[in-house]
Amino acid sequence: MNPVKISVAKGDGIGPEIMDAVIRIFDAAGVPLNYEYIDMGKKFYDAGFSTGMTPEAKISVETNGVLFKGPMETPKGKGVKSINVTARKTWSTFANRRHFRSLNGVETVFSKAGIPIDITIVRENIEGTYGGVEHMLTQDVALCRRFITRPGSIQVHRFAFEMAKREGFSKVTCAHKANIMKLTDGLFLETFYEVAKEYPEIEANDVIVDDLAMKLVAKPQQFEVVVLTNLQGDIMSDLCAGLVGGLGFAPSANIGEHISIFEAVHGTAPDITGKNIANPTALLLSGLMMLRYLGFMDHANTIENALLFTLESGSHTGDFGDRNTPSLNTTEFSTTIIANLGKVPASGAARHSRSSAEFVHPVAPIQQKVMVGKETLDETKLVGLDVFYESRNNAATDAPTIQKHIPEGFKMVMISNRGTQVWPTGSVFTECVDQFRLRIETVDGKEATQGELFAIANSISKDLFVSSVELLRYFNGKPGYSLAQGQ
């Protein structure tokens, strides 16, 4: 095969050590890759590059379409966004895939019990609370907006089913909290079953995310592929890492339509930086995901089998393995894997994909930002607004004042605090903070205009501080807003 050029960022801390070890293994296995090393990481943020990468690095990734990166540190404080999250979101790598598999030679509670684990977590990668849109509404109340979109959900669900089909998995599970977050997680779950209809040969089911956490610890073998929203997926993937020996054995791929990023999910380990004792396994496994993505299936299988043989033989770095046998440093461990190229473990060999390639290279260049989503608009109807206002009063005290600003044709429906209704009915035991939500709707569900609704909010602001407003709309005859607890 013709060599493929990829962008490589060695990262911070132990990143350069483990990246060099992995590339040594790739070179020894004859992987046809050309490496374009780029400037990216904490030191480049400190040098004044606000995104943690130089303009030349950005051009390299957008030209090559593949970034292989070591762990990177995000500076504490200073208001800077995570370098890792910025890269994933900037290049729309919408699906984060993490594969957790029992490895011979890596002892865990489950390996001792003879319970094999082979779980793939697919995490939506650019939406949810990771949008990072936050505001202080009052001195006591902070708000984070959580974005779940139909096109974003469909993208990640289709990736999960396509990956399952390609690699021979028989079941995909959607984990969610739609019993509580009925619109956001409800949309994620709804689109899951919409996409599932396209894959009748694959079993599709769902589970509430807290129930998933319990079942992963109790009976992890019942799951194959699990797809989740961003924050929930982040938490559950770390839980799964604990099932197979820790983050040192957790590979990660961030897949987009045009650009994909492959990285280990563990940190920079500054306490062992420069000591040549770091475990390169997670980055190597991430690199194998990259090789399969590029279509280098045979190379990936050869290297994975050599790694599995090495682990099965008892070779280990200092962070795992039999404490009665000497540990290998980073260089020695990678050298041992190289010496075992061509060997196959007695059990748990590399799983062969049903597809000969996961990606066609090179990426076709695009000239402008892409708008995703439905081209046809839903029928909508504007019926009211929620006014978020600041007050230290009881809601019943403020209600008569607010009523003076409600014009004919509109009505006050309720006032809530932290999502629980406190007016016109409620409980004296409901503790309140200094930020309330007032719901105003049209009488008899008649349609309103934006001008009418903003005029009401403006009028209320003469007596109360209005910190935010949200319009209430119907979409195809269904309300696009939730009720308060107790409403």
> Are 325 and 392 members of one domain?
no
pLDDT at 112 over 70: yes
> Are 314 and 403 members of one domain?
no
pLDDT level of residue 369 (50, 70, 90 thresholds):
low
Measured in whole angstroms, the distance separating CA 24 from the mean position of its chain's CA atoms is 30
pLDDT level of residue 240 (50, 70, 90 thresholds):
very high
pLDDT level of residue 47 (50, 70, 90 thresholds):
confident
Task: For residues 266 and 284, give the distance between their C-alpha atoms in angstroms, rounded to a whole number.
Answer: 13
> Are 324 and 399 members of one domain?
no
Structure tokens at 339: 């010496």
The per-residue pLDDT for 105 is: 87
pLDDT at 364 over 80: no
Residue of 83, 59, 63 whose CA lies nearest to 71: 83
> What is this structure's pTM?
0.89
Mean pLDDT of the chain: 92
Overall domain count for the chain: 2
Sole residue written with tokens 């040549």: 276
Boundary of a domain, candidates 307, 339, 371: 339
Domain of residue 472, CATH code: 3.30.70.1570
Amino acid letter for position 417: N
In a domain? residue 367: no
> Are 276 and 400 members of one domain?
no
> Are 185 and 286 members of one domain?
yes
> Are 303 and 387 members of one domain?
no
Average pLDDT of span 373-385: 84
The per-residue pLDDT for 360 is: 47
> Are 77 and 219 members of one domain?
yes
Task: For residues 87 and 92, give the distance between their C-alpha atoms in angstroms, rounded to a whole number.
Answer: 8
Q: Rounded to whole angstroms, what are the CA distances from 130 to 135, 225, 234, 311, 426?
A: 14, 22, 10, 36, 33
Average pLDDT of span 437-461: 96
> Are 251 and 321 members of one domain?
yes
Average pLDDT of span 3-19: 96
**Under 8 Å between Cβ of 72 and 11:** yes
In a domain? residue 346: no
The per-residue pLDDT for 486 is: 86
> Are 331 and 399 members of one domain?
no
Task: For residues 279 and 267, give the distance between their C-alpha atoms in angstroms, rounded to a whole number.
Answer: 12
The per-residue pLDDT for 361 is: 47
Q: Could you list the residue range(s) of the whole structural domain that residue 412 is in? A: 380-479
In a domain? residue 368: no
In a domain? residue 188: yes
> Are 386 and 322 members of one domain?
no
> Are 396 and 324 members of one domain?
no
The per-residue pLDDT for 235 is: 96
Tell me the per-residue pLDDT of 309-334, one tens digit each, with 9 for 90 and over.
Answer: 999 999 999 999 888 899 999 999 99
The per-residue pLDDT for 367 is: 62
In a domain? residue 372: no
Domain of residue 300, CATH code: 3.40.718.10
Residues 6+ apart with CB under 8 A from 470: 385, 386, 388, 481
Boundary of a domain, candidates 286, 316, 339: 339
Higher-pLDDT residue of 10, 356: 10
> Are 335 and 394 members of one domain?
no
Boundary of a domain, candidates 287, 317, 339: 339
Edge-to-edge strand list for the sheet holding 380-390:
420-423, 410-417, 435-442, 380-390, 465-475, 478-479
